[in-house]
Amino acid sequence: HEEEKLFKSIIDKLTLAGKSGEGLYFIDKELSTLDTQN
């Protein structure tokens, strides 16, 4: 269930990113932190 929550939060952020260009920058940062955690 933890992964589901994480996934949902990413989807929510993607939705936000779609509304503002700078959101993409945050998504990029978010994904790179996910990569380093694994």
pLDDT tens-digit map of 1-38:
788 998 888 888 777 666 666 667 777 888 888 777 65
Angle, vertex CA 20, rays to CA 34 and CA 32, nearest 5? 15
Number of domains comprising the chain: 1
Does this model's pTM top 0.95? My answer is no
Q: What distance in Å separates the CA atoms of residue 26 and residue 31, rounded to the nearest whole number?
A: 9
Range of the domain at 14: 2-37
DSSP E strands in 1-38: the ranges are none
Q: How far is CA 19 from CA 10, 12, 13, 15, 31, in A?
A: 14, 11, 10, 7, 18
Q: Bin 20: left if φ > 0, else alpha if -120 < ψ < 50, else beta.
A: beta
Q: Give the pLDDT of residue 38.
A: 57
